[in-house]
Structure 1
Amino acid sequence: MSKSLGSFPTYENYRDSGVECYGSVPAHWKTLANKYIFDLNKNLVGKNSNRYTLLSLTLGGIIKRDMDNPEGKFPAEFDTYQEVTPGDFVFCLFDVEETPRTIGLSSLHGMITGAYTVFRPRRKFDEEYLQYLYLSLDSGKRLRFLYKGLRNTIPKDVFLAFKSLNPPIQEQKLIARFLSVKTAQIDQAIQTKERQIELLKERKQILIQQAVTRGLNPRAPMRNSDIEWIGEIPSHWSIKRAKYIFREVDERSPDGQQELLSVSHLTGVTPRSEKNVTMFMSEDYTGSKTCQKDDLIFNIMWAWMGALGVSDRAGIVSSAYGVYRQLNHGTLNPQYLEMLLKTTTYIAHYNKVSTGLHSSRLRFYGHMFMSMEIGFPNREEQDAIVAHLDLESEKLNKALDLLEQQITKLKEYKVTLINSAVTGKIKVPGVSEPETQDMEVA
C-alpha cells in the first residue's frame, strides 16, 4: 500500500479530451455522449410492489433496505417506485452537491424511489469501468458545470448529452480489474486500522475504569462494597450517598444571554456552538437553568447512555437537565468525577433505575442521583489518578491520531488512484498502447 502514483507508468501520447472534468486523456481514447452508452430503464412496479425488495442508494452502494427496522419515512404506497435489476445504474441527479453518493451499480433485483434515474449500459461497455468513472466524478463533485437550478439538478437530457470516457473495451476491463484489486487492498488496510482504533479506545476505557474504580496500586487491600455499581474498592476509600456530596441547583437566567451548553454521552458538557446539530434552537433562553464552572450536569433523558459531564465554564443549559454542585468545593476532582460517573457500572445503574416505558423515554431524575452511593479516594489520590490518566491518555491519543491520519491518507490515495486510472493519467498493468499511426479518435 506504500506504492505512490509516481511509480505507475503513463501513456506515451495524450490529447485534450475537450471535457472540463477529464483534462488530458490518452490519445487513442474516445469520448462518447451518454445517449450512446446508457438506455433509460424506467419500469414502474405499480401495484406489484409487494413482489420487490426495497433498495436504497448509500455510500456503500445499492443495498437492501431493512423493512423490519426501518429508518426514515416510507410512502403509503410504492406504485411510483421503479424496478432495478442487476447491472443497472442508479443516479440521483438532483441535490447532487449535497448528496454524499449519487451513483450506484446494482447487483440486486428490487425497487427504488422514482425520484432516481435508472439506466442500463449497453453491452459494448464495461459496467465496472463506468462505475469507477462515475464514482470518481461523484467523489470530487466534478460535474458542477452541469448543474441547473437551486437544487443542483442535472437534467436527464443534459446528462445524456454529457460525454463519458470510452477507452477500448479491453482496456476498460483491465482498468476495472486493476481497481477492483487495488481498492479492495486499500479497504482492507483501512479496516485493519479502524480495528486498531477500536482496540486502542477499548484499552483506554479499561485503563480509565480500572484507575477510577480501583486506584493505581494493584496491591492495595480491597473490600466488597456490597453495592452493585461500585463492587470491590480499596479498603481506605470512602462510600457516600450523593446527597452528602452534592446539592441540586435550580438557578435561572434572567435574560438567557449566557453561553448555551449541551450535554451528550460522547462529548460531555460542550458549547452548543461547537456542535453540529440540526435540532430546534429557541429564540429566547430566558429562564434556562444556569450552571457554574465545576458543576455536574446530567442530561436527564439520556443519562442511561452516559450523557453527563462536569462543566469547565459558566453557562446556561436546558431546563430539563439536572445541575448539581459540590457541598464542599474540591471534595471531588472534576475530571475524576466525570470519568467515574461515566464508567460502565455506574451507567448501568442509571439505566436500571431510570423510569419510562422504553429507552427513548427513560428519565434519570434528581432524587435518583442523590440517593445513589459513590465510591472514591481522598482528593490527593484523585489528583494522582487524574495525572496518571492524563499521561497515559496522551500516549494513546497520539497513537489514535496517527491511525486517523493514516486512514485519511489511504482514503485520499484511493480517490486519486481511481481518478488517475479511469482518466488515463496512469497506465494499468496489461495495457498495450497502440502505435501512433493506428490511433483513431472520434
Structure 2
Amino acid sequence: MAMKESGIEWVGSIPDTWDVIPNKYIMHKEKNLCEKWTGEDVMSLTMNGVIVRDLQNPTGKMPATFDGYQYIEDGDLLMCLFDIDVTPRCIGKVTHNGVTSPAYSNFKTHDNASRDYYYYYYLMVDNTKELLHLAKNLRHSFTEEQLGSLKVPMPPLTEQQVIADYLNEKCSKIDDIIAEANASVEEYKELKQAVIDNATMTGIHDSEMKYTDYVWFPEMPKSWNLVLASLLFREDVRPIDANDVSLSLSQVDGLIPTDDMSERSLKSATHDNWKHVIPDDLVLNRFKGHLGVFFASKYTGMVSFHYGVYHAIRDDVYAKYYEYLFHSTTYKNIFALKSNGITVGLQNLSNGNFYSVKILHPTLDEQIEIVKYLDKRTAEIDSLIAEKESLIKDLESYKKSLIYEVVTGKRRVV
C-alpha cells in the first residue's frame, strides 16, 4: 500500500489514492431557527453522543424556553466550536430529528462525503483536542470560517462508507463491552456500600438485637450502645509543628500528604490557622460530610482550618471503625440532615451539629473485628473494581487508536 504525506499535522501519511481538500468542500453550516417550540425533542451534545434530553427529570442548565433553538435532522453533524478546552465532547452525529441550542454549529455533509466517516475523523481530532492550539481567543472558540479552511483527508466516497461501516460495527462492539464493564463497576460499588452498611450497623455475627429510640435505625446488636458523638470525640486545636507536612483530604484517596501548592486556595498566607493532625485522628471535610469524606489519619501533619480534626476522648474507640461507620449510607444521610445550609453548593457540618449525632458504639473488640473484616472485604471488591476500570481504560485507548488508524488509512479495511 503506497502512502504519501497528507500535510496535516495530526494525520501524517495517508494512502496515495486519497486527496486532501479544505473542509468547506465536504460540509456546510446550516442554522434553521425554531421561532416557536412546539414540543419537538430537545437534543444535547454529550460524551454519549447527541441525545434527547429528559425534560421531565432535567439535569444541567435548563432555559426558560426553547423558542429560538435550531432544528437539526438525522444525518447532520453537530459541533461545539467554543470552550474547546473544557468541553468534554465537541462532535456528535445526529440520528434523531429535533431542536438544539443555537450555540452549537450544525453541519450537513455534501454528496461527496460520508457523514459517518467525517464524524469519526473529527472524533479522532477531538480525542486529542487538536484544534485547541488553533483557537486563539479567550473562549478557545473556533469559527466556521476557520473550520472551513482546515485541510481534511478525502478518500473515495465508497471507501469512506466502508470505513464508516467498519468503525460503526467495531466501535459499537467496544462500546457494548465498556458499558457492561461500567455496569459491573457500579454493581461492585453498590456491593461495597452494602458490605460497609451491614457490618457497621449490625456487626458481622448473628447477634441478638435490641430496639433503639433512634429514628435512623430501629434496632442494633444487644451488646452495642448509642452514644452522643460529643462523648466520644473532641476537636482540640493543637499548635502545628514546624516539621508538619501538609495533608489533603479527598473522597477517593482519603487523607494523604500533598504539595503545599495544591492547598493554596484553601489557606491564608501563613499556616497560623492550620490544625495539627496525628495518627488516628478523624479528619472531616465539613462541606462533604454527607459524602463520607471523613477519614482516620495515618499521618502526622497539618490540614487547612476548613477541616474538622477530632480525636477520641475514650480508650474504647477504634478510629478506623468510625471511618467506616461514617461512610455508611445511614450516617451520610444523618450528616446531610445535620449540615447547615448551602455554601457554594456544599453543605457545612459544624462541630455543634456533629457532636449532637448519636453514634453506634460496639465494644472495642467488636470494632477491631469489624475493621479487620471490612479491610479484607473492601480490598477484594476494590481489586475487582480496579480490574474493570483497567479494562475500560484499555478499551477506550484501543478504540481511539483504531479510529485514528482507520480514518487515516494506515489500517486498510477495504
Same fold (TM over 0.5): yes
Deviation at residue 413 of structure 1 after TM alignment: 1.0
Pick from 366, 387, 398: which aligns with 1:402? 387
Per-residue CA deviation, residues 36-58 of structure 1 (Å, 9 max, x unaligned), is 2122324566xx26567765433
SS at match of 1:217: coil
After TM superposition, the structure 1 = structure 2 runs for residues 82-121 of structure 1, keeping only pairs within 5 Å, are: 84-107=72-95, 108-114=97-103, 116-121=104-109
Pick from 12, 16, 30: which aligns with 1:23? 12
Change (3 A) 1:377 1:145: closer
After TM superposition, the structure 1 = structure 2 runs for residues 235-274 of structure 1, keeping only pairs within 5 Å, are: 235-249=222-236, 251=237, 268-269=254-255
Aligned pair 1:379/2:368, yes or no? Answer: no
After TM superposition, the structure 1 = structure 2 runs for residues 102-251 of structure 1, keeping only pairs within 5 Å, are: 102-107=90-95, 108-114=97-103, 116-143=104-131, 146=134, 148=136, 154=142, 156-218=144-206, 220-249=207-236, 251=237
CA contact (8 A) 1:213 1:376 kept: no
Per-residue CA deviation, residues 226-260 of structure 1 (Å, 9 max, x unaligned), is 433354333223332223222343x3879999766
Q: Aligned partners of 1:264, 1:136: CA distance in 2, in Å?
A: 33
CA contact (8 A) 2:339 2:347 kept: yes
CA contact (8 A) 1:300 1:364 kept: yes
Aligned to 1:32: 21
1:327 counterpart letter in structure 2:
I
Pick from 273, 283, 296: which aligns with 1:310? 296
| TM-score for both structures, normalised by structure 1 | 0.77
After TM superposition, the structure 1 = structure 2 runs for residues 292-331 of structure 1, keeping only pairs within 5 Å, are: 292-293=277-278, 294-312=280-298, 313-319=300-306, 322-328=308-314, 330-331=315-316
Q: Aligned partners of 2:218, 2:259: CA distance in 1, in Å?
A: 39
Deviation at residue 355 of structure 1 after TM alignment: 5.4
SS at match of 2:215: coil
Per-residue CA deviation, residues 113-156 of structure 1 (Å, 9 max, x unaligned), is 44x54332112311111111111122123456755567655554
Aligned residues: 409
CA contact (8 A) 1:247 1:324 kept: yes
Aligned to 1:14: 3
More strand by percentage = 2
Q: Aligned partners of 2:242, 2:44: CA distance in 1, in Å?
A: 43
Tell me the percent identity.
Answer: 31
Query: Which is higher, the Rg of structure 1 or of structure 2?
Result: 1
Change (3 A) 1:134 1:374: same
SS at match of 2:316: coil
Q: Aligned partners of 2:201, 2:81: CA distance in 1, in Å?
A: 55
Deviation at residue 296 of structure 1 after TM alignment: 3.0
Q: Aligned partners of 2:379, 2:212: CA distance in 1, in Å?
A: 32
Deviation at residue 324 of structure 1 after TM alignment: 3.2
Q: Aligned partners of 2:376, 2:156: CA distance in 1, in Å?
A: 59
- CA RMSD, 1 decimal: 3.9
Moved more, 286-295 or 23-32: 286-295
Deviation at residue 16 of structure 1 after TM alignment: 3.2
Deviation at residue 339 of structure 1 after TM alignment: 0.7
Q: Aligned partners of 1:335, 1:200: CA distance in 2, in Å?
A: 22
| TM-score for both structures, normalised by structure 2 | 0.81
CA contact (8 A) 2:338 2:354 kept: no
Change (3 A) 1:70 1:410: closer
Aligned to 1:71: 60
Deviation at residue 364 of structure 1 after TM alignment: 4.1
Q: Aligned partners of 1:416, 1:124: CA distance in 2, in Å?
A: 26
Per-residue CA deviation, residues 402-442 of structure 1 (Å, 9 max, x unaligned), is 111111111011111111221222232xx3xxxxxxxxxxx
Deviation at residue 172 of structure 1 after TM alignment: 1.5
Change (3 A) 1:193 1:111: closer
Change (3 A) 1:43 1:282: farther
Q: Aligned partners of 1:17, 1:287: CA distance in 2, in Å?
A: 60
